[in-house]
């Protein structure tokens, strides 16, 4: 019998609720039978205290070597302080596609049962290029960068995904009536790519209208293709459709590397209390298992999560339960058998 492969994965527990939810997820992953070797690293303020660097060189090297990372949230201070670790890592490894599936879990009452959306967010450009400066006191310029290359490759990613996974429809979400040049370019690239995919319906909606439409009737959408900032905002809105930020997973994908992380941030308001919901990071880990071709383990974890939600006995507070982070993890482990 061939020896079982060991997956070397870079692990960034992060801060705030990061270490708690990461610990819960690692326990569950280790119980799948898949062999992991974790390379664990601090990042952000915690890393700065230890190494004098927000992202230690050894962390970059680890991701470069392993090509896969599982990451908890790392706080980005508002205003001054350091540059977002999340944005820096996405740029450094050219993780241009941010992939976020939005799906109801059983047992959770939400306004709309049966939501099944895919968000494809451009991850390296837009307002997130970090080009801001003060022109004169009281006047600040922030530069949004949209390129043909960046827009074309994210559109291609969305259409390839749709075709491969039988998704029927893609909408580009934009504000090209105001951002005529930048969003105009984004749309032109998406249209050009769409021409090569006659089997996938293509539409365009303005961002503000889309937010209203998503709340009123999310079923008119299937896959949403968005620039960086719009994708960030609409992801949180869509998380709200299925029960909140504690649930929605994400993957940052490039041609070479992948970093799996939840949509939510470090949630300092509930950190250190063993009450955070680890489902979002756990479902991100399920995406990682698929990425590693560990299909059986991915399905086993996903099924166990769905069982725990359907039973409604051991849910965390954000989704109406009373269980703690570790109790929820125990319930998932029990459901895995
Ligand atoms: P960022 O800008 O870093 O993405 P954010 O401003 O979106 O962060 P979060 O840290 O994600 O903010 O938290 C937003 C709200 O959602 C907070 O009230 C937080 O407690 C809640 N929340 C986020 N993640 C979870 C979770 N895993 N479990 C329970 N509640 C959560």
pLDDT (tens digit per residue) in 82-134: 778 888 999 999 999 999 999 999 999 999 999 999 999 999 999 998 899 99
pLDDT value for 76: 81
Domain segments of the chain as ranges: 1-102+245-337, 111-241
Q: Which of the listed residues 45, 236, 239, 264 should we mutate to test ligand 1's pocket, taking the one with most ligand atoms within 8 A of CB?
A: 264
Beta bridge partners of 172: 204, 225
Nearest protein CA to atom 14 of ligand 1, as residue: 267
Which atom of ligand 1 is closest in space to residue 73's alpha carbon?
Answer: 3
**Ligand 1 pocket, residue 246 CB under 6 Å:** yes
Mean pLDDT of 51-68: 94
- The Å distance, Cα 193 to ligand 1 centre, comes to 35
Dist. CA 245 → ligand 1 center (Å): 6
Produce one character per residue of 54-75: b if its CB has 16 or more CB atoms within 10 Å, e if not: bbbeebbebbeebbbbbbbbbb
Ligand 1 centroid–CA 199 distance in Å is: 38
pLDDT band at 2 (very low <50, low <70, confident <90, very high): low
- What value does the mean pLDDT take over residues 148-170? 97
Report the atom number in ligand 1 closest to the C-alpha of 17. 27
Contact between 260 and 29 (Cβ < 8 Å): no
Of 72-81, 126-135, 192-201, minimum mean pLDDT range: 72-81
Q: What is the number of the ligand 1 atom nearest to the C-alpha of 262?
A: 27
H-state helical runs in the chain: 18-30, 45-51, 57-66, 85-92, 148-164, 182-195, 207-216, 228-242, 279-291, 295-311, 325-336
**For the domain 111-241, what is the CATH code?**
3.40.718.10
Going by CA atoms, what residue is nearest to atom 7 of ligand 1? Answer: 265
Domain 1-102+245-337 has CATH 3.40.50.720: no
Asked whether 25 lines ligand 1 (CB < 6 A), one says: no
Query: Looking at the predicted structure, is the pLDDT value of residue 317 above 80?
Result: yes
Nearest CA to ligand 1 atom 12: 265
Residue nearest (by alpha carbon) to ligand 1 atom 4: 265
Topology agreement, domain 1-102+245-337 and domain 111-241: yes
Atom of ligand 1 nearest to the CA of 86: 3
Instruction: State whether the beta carbon of 265 lies less than 6 angstroms from ligand 1.
Output: yes
pLDDT in tens, 258-290: 999 998 999 999 999 999 999 999 999 999 999
DSSP string, 283-332: HHHHHHHHHTT-HHHHHHHHHHHHHHHHH-SS-BGGGT--B-HHHHHHHH
Query: Which residue has its alpha carbon closest to ligand 1 atom 8?
Result: 265
- The gap from C-alpha 335 to its chain's centroid, in whole angstroms, comes to 25
CA distance 19 to 71: 10
Confidence category of residue 81, pLDDT binned at 50, 70, 90? low
User: Can you say how many angstroms the Cα of residue 199 is from the centroid of all Cα atoms in its chain?
Assistant: 27
Q: With 90 as the cut, is the pLDDT of residue 157 above it?
A: yes
Q: Give mean pLDDT, residues 9-27.
A: 97
Burial class (CB within 10 angstroms; exposed 0-12, middle 13-18, buried 19+) of 240: middle
247 CB near ligand 1 (under 6 Å): no
What is the band of 49 on the pLDDT scale with cuts at 50, 70, 90? Answer: confident
């Amino acid at each position: 019998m061939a020896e079982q492969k060991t997956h070397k994965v870079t692990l960034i527990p992060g801060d705030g609720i990061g270490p708690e939810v990461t610990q819960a997820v690692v326990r569950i992953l280790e119980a799948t039978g898949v062999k992991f070797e974790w390379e664990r690293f601090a990042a952000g303020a915690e890393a700065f205290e230890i190494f004098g660097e927000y992202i230690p060189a050894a962390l970059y090297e680890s991701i470069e070597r392993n090509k896969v990372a599982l990451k908890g949230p790392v706080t980005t201070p508002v205003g001054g302080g350091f540059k977002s670790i999340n944005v820096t890592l996405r740029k450094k490894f050219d993780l241009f596609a941010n992939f976020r599936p939005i799906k109801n879990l059983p047992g959770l009452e939400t306004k709309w049962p049966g939501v099944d959306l895919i968000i494809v967010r451009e991850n390296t450009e837009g307002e997130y290029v970090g080009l801001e400066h003060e022109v004169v006191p009281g006047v600040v310029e922030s530069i949004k960068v949209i390129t043909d290359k960046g827009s074309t490759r994210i559109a291609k990613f969305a259409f390839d995904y749709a075709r491969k996974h039988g998704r029927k429809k893609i909408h580009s979400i934009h504000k090209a009536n105001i951002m005529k040049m930048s969003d105009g370019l984004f749309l032109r690239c998406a249209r050009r790519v769409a021409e090569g995919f006659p089997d996938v319906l293509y539409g365009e909606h303005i961002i503000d209208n889309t937010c209203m439409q998503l709340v009123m009737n999310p079923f008119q959408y299937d896959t949403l293709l968005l620039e960086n900032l719009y994708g960030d905002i609409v992801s949180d809105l869509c998380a709200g459709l299925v029960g909140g930020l504690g649930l929605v997973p994400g993957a940052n994908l490039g041609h070479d590397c992948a970093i799996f992380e939840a949509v939510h941030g470090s949630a300092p308001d509930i950190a250190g209390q063993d009450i955070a919901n680890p489902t979002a990071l756990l479902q991100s880990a399920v995406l990682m298992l698929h990425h590693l071709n560990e299909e059986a383990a991915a399905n086993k974890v996903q099924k166990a999560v769905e069982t725990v939600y359907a039973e409604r006995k051991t849910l965390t507070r954000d989704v109406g339960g009373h269980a703690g982070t570790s109790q929820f993890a125990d319930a998932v482990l029990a459901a895995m058998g």
